[in-house]
Structure 1
Amino acid sequence: MVSRRRFLAHGAALLCAPSLARAGGREVVDVLGNVVRLKAAPQRILLLDASDYYMMAALLPDPGGRIVGWASAARLDLGAQAERLGAVFPEVGGISPDTVSVEAILGLEPDLVVTSAYMSPQTATLAQHLENAGIPVAWSGDYGQSMGPQEKLQRSLGFWGELLDQQARAGELRDQSMARFDALTAAPAPGPLPRVYMEIMTTYDSCCWAAGRAFWGDLFQLAGGDLLAGSDGWGAQLSPEGLLGLNPEVYIATGGNFAPGLQPAIGPGLDPEQGRSGLRKAADRQGLRNSDAVVQGRIHGIWSGLISSPLFGPLLAECLAKWLHPEHFRELDPVMTLAALNRYFPAPLPGPLWASLGEA
């Protein structure tokens, strides 16, 4: 494995340098630091974590020309926008690793399979089966448990830029994205950190899944918030009484396209007013309705897709910072940040990707 220090020290070089040639083939370094040996530049890529589509879409004018199939397509949460964005491919599995079919993968004849630790723990065994069949496997993520958003973004763009021979474009996108993170880190420290209940898997008929520190801790540190974490991992369920006792000052829900009748309808192409109506309904549940967050009207929501790709990290961090410290971070403009990112996609990703009560 390549150490984190060594990888970051050479991150810019990875974006600018060609892949290493070995005996007529090439080698690339994946996000976890593994050296992946390829016979040639891959033309038939299979994504076991469909959220990697966003990286390919940002770096290639026609990402669909290189993708032969995928799994976990539901993670994209694009709803009716999937076909417009060209995000429709043969599926070899669902959203969990136990649904992935080796036979379906082999039938699509990929020359590279890209997976992530999100599809663990069975993915490691699956990867061994594929490698035994002569299909190389690269890793695009670590499930958010050891890398912060800046490091994850740089590693991801380094890997995908090298893999797709798009080092220059990846470097431009890296610089643009890191500038947005730098705007947060360079600002003076904000005042008191508000207590934040970040709810994952928001639904109207249950409560209260609190985000954990594994993914969210670094983001809220950047944004200046005191995350009322459900665990040190991805998250955990609190009781309504327990949540009320914590008395959050800011509430952030997670909505999406997947089940707009059961969760706030926040996602590409959806009606913004429908999303705000969903936020009101979510905030009226036991454990929240009498909290400082609801009484003071500090109620917000995000599209679930914002956590699916490192590309959205700067955008998500800006939204959080604006909500937690609106005066301190008044110069931040998530709308402009999304517009700048959309210039890299073959088709722009439409809003609403976030929502707040009180917006016109």
Structure 2
Amino acid sequence: MKTSLYRVLLACGLVLAALVSPAGAAELTDLNGRKVTVPDQVRKISIDDGRFLVALSLIQADPVKWLAAWPRDVHRIGDATYAQFVAKFPALRSVPQVASSAGSFNLEAVLSAAPDVAVVSVGSGPTEAQTAQLKAAGIPVVFIDFFDNPFKNQDASLRILGQLTGGQAKAEAYVAFRRQHLDRIAQRVAKLAPSDRPTVFLEAHAGISKDCCNSPGKGNMGEYIDFVGGHNIGADVLKAPVGKLNIEYVISRDPQVYIATGGAHLEKAGGLVLGAGYDAARARASLAAIVQRQGIAQLSAVKSGNSFGLAHQLINSPIDIVAVEAFATWIHPALFKDVDPARTLAEINQQFLAVPYQGTGWTGLK
């Protein structure tokens, strides 16, 4: 039955594709460097990462109305944030589901949702053959990236979403806002000598299991650390954007700064919890417990109080500028004593986000 449905949809798509005139189309370059022809007026898109919904909410008053389908990967945005979206946009509950970028691409789910454009993640998404099949069915595929190379790809990815949804002006306004904040940090970091870069260990999803330790390597969150003038010890041994370090290596490097990320998805595992749905006291208590684990507790960063926690939902999306500023104040507190990530988040909430970010986004023990 699924095969028959696919063939019918494919045949219909071929006819529709043949009827589209060049005058009703536009061209863009996606984050895989592909020239993609998309409808001049897009009504619905599918996305393969729930965090793209947060990006859409920066540039659209109603981001949900643009969704033909989404992966329902609530853990990526957090239960509390999802509840906020549903409270404001109840239609999100009934948006059809497609596969998450964390799993295998489901061609039939996208065909069934029939978006005008399928927006997918760099590093995952459909194969070339599947992309060709979608194109033949009249569904162009556009790759964007808020994960692998955030500093390189964030602005371009938001601009693509703006072009697809008619939110170009809002996208440009946010890109300018973000660039202004990044430039302030970059100008100061440029004056640092290599010896002035403290060693940093970032443990992603801290406490998710007994195994140590999830860490960024080259790319991903490691770019944030490099950008603000730190030295990511994970990048010295991990060649991929993410990987695992053993605790012996971490102890041998004895980093000067320890940063953990977490969120509601770690509640059951006893890991670091903070972000939407958690107050400051709960977040700090959670971090205090996380750093008492064997191996972590003996690090100089923990003993000196240079230990911090960040809500994982603040990264891998355009609101990562808040995380960047938090990193800057933790790694170089004197250099960035006038930087206030809380004020920056308040400005983003007021000026841009359709669903304001709430809860404790970060915490520290000093």
Superposition TM-score tier, normalisation by shorter sequence: 0.7 to 0.9
Q: In the TM superposition, what are the counterparts of 1:1-360 in structure 2 within 5 Å?
A: 22-71=22-71, 73-74=73-74, 76-86=76-86, 88=93, 89-98=95-104, 100-120=105-125, 123-141=127-145, 143-144=147-148, 147=149, 149=151, 151-187=152-188, 189-190=191-192, 192-203=196-207, 205-229=210-234, 230-262=237-269, 263-309=271-317, 311-342=318-349, 343-358=351-366
TM-score (norm 2): 0.84
Code of the aligned partner of 1:223: V
* More helix, by proportion: 2
Distance 2:75 2:268 in 1: 18
Aligned length: 332
Q: Deviations over 1:18-75 (max 9, x none)?
A: xxx9333222332333222123311111101222112211111111111121126246
- The Cα shift of 1:143 comes to 4.7
The one-letter code of the counterpart of 1:140 is I
Q: Which amino acid aligns with 1:43?
A: R
Q: Which moved more, 1:28-37 or 1:291-300?
A: 28-37
For normalisation by structure 1, the TM-score amounts to 0.85
Q: Which amino acid letter does the alignment assign opposite residue 270 of structure 1?
A: Y
| Separation in structure 1 between the aligned mates of residue 246 and residue 289 of structure 2, nearest angstrom | 18
After superposing on structure 2, the runs of 4+ consecutive aligned residues of structure 1 that deviate more than 6 Å are none
Conserved 8 A contact 1:185-1:222: yes
**In 2 relative to 1, CA 142–334 (structure 1 residues): closer, same or farther, beyond 3 Å?**
closer
Shift of 1:196: 0.7
How far apart, in 1, do the equivalents of 2:332 and 2:118 lie? 42
Moved more, 67-76 or 53-62: 67-76
Counterparts of 2:222 and 2:124, CA distance in 1: 22
User: Percent of aligned pairs with the same residue?
Assistant: 26
Distance 2:49 2:32 in 1: 15
Between Structure 1 and Structure 2, whose CA radius of gyration is higher? 2
Q: Which amino acid aligns with 1:312?
A: I
Letter of the structure 2 residue corresponding to residue 31 of structure 1: L
CA distance in structure 2 between the partners assigned to 1:283 and 1:111 by the alignment: 47
Gaps of 5+ in 1: 1-20
> Which amino acid in 2 is paired with 1:207?
C
Q: Is the Cα–Cα contact under 8 Å of residues 70 and 90 in structure 1 kept in the other structure?
A: yes
CA contact 1:75–1:305 (8 Å) conserved in 2: no
- C-alpha spacing 1:236/1:153, structure 2 compared with 1 (3 Å): closer
Distance 1:58 1:73, change over 3 A: same
C-alpha contact 2:45 2:119 (8 A) present in aligned 1: yes
User: Aligned to 1:210, what secondary structure does the other structure show?
Assistant: strand
| Alignment partners' CA distance in 2, 1:54 and 1:81 | 10
Structure 2, unpaired ranges of 5+: 1-20, 87-91
